[in-house]
Copies of this chain bind each other. A is one copy, B any other.
Amino acid sequence: MGDPSDWQSKPELASGVAERLPLLINHVAFEVAGRAELGLNAIGLTGKGYMALAILEADRPRSQLELSRLIGCVPAVVVTIADELEAGGFVERQRDPADRRRSVLVVTPAGRRVLAKGDRVAKAVEDELLGHLDAEAREQLHAALRGTLESVAVPAA
């Protein structure tokens, strides 16, 4: 997902960005992704793999195609993510008996363990970046962004 620390320890503060909410959201997201990626790599996950595991557990898609729509990517990308997760022993591909074209990604016990670890990594990044907010403010931020996603996304099929 991109790792700012490769070429620069810390970005400099640009008012031009801080003043503009759309630019600001992107900068913060970039920071979050970069830091999370480091921690996730250390436990054998990529950012995308972590997201996929989270969706597999929470939304139970019944095919790779369904997963691709939930992630918001093209089906071909899911193939590479599934390959990765399968190689790590975190998911198993199981053909759907009712329609053998579909492959269902089943999370293994190891997959659930690494997801839990990934959530701790994500939480650590959150604490690092949102440490200046108290619990209530953090929940408001979460609610505001969740509302945005809900207003934009179509309800899952």
Chain A positions near chain B (C-beta within 8 angstroms)? 4, 7-8, 10-33, 36, 50-51, 54-59, 69-72, 74, 119, 122, 125-126, 129-133, 137-138, 140-142, 144-157
Do B11 and A59 touch (CB < 8 A)? no
Contacting pair B131 A16 (CB below 8 A): no
Contact B19 A25 (CB under 8 A): no
Bound state CA distance, A58 and B20, in angstroms? 11
Task: Give A40 Cβ to nearest chain B Cβ, in Å.
Answer: 10
Structural contact, A150 and B54, CB atoms closer than 8 A: no
Q: State whether B19 touches A58 (Cβ < 8 A).
A: yes
Contact assessment for B149 and A18 in the assembled complex, using a CB-CB cutoff below 8 Å: yes
Query: Chain A at the B interface: mostly helix, strand, loop or mixed?
Result: helix
**Which of B11, B33, B138 contacts A153, CB < 8 Å?**
B11
Most chain B CB within a 10 A radius of its CB, from A16, A20, A125: A16
Closest to A119 in B: B20
Residues of B within 8 A of A125 (CB): 22
**Distance from A143 Cβ to chain B, minimum over Cβ atoms (Å):** 9
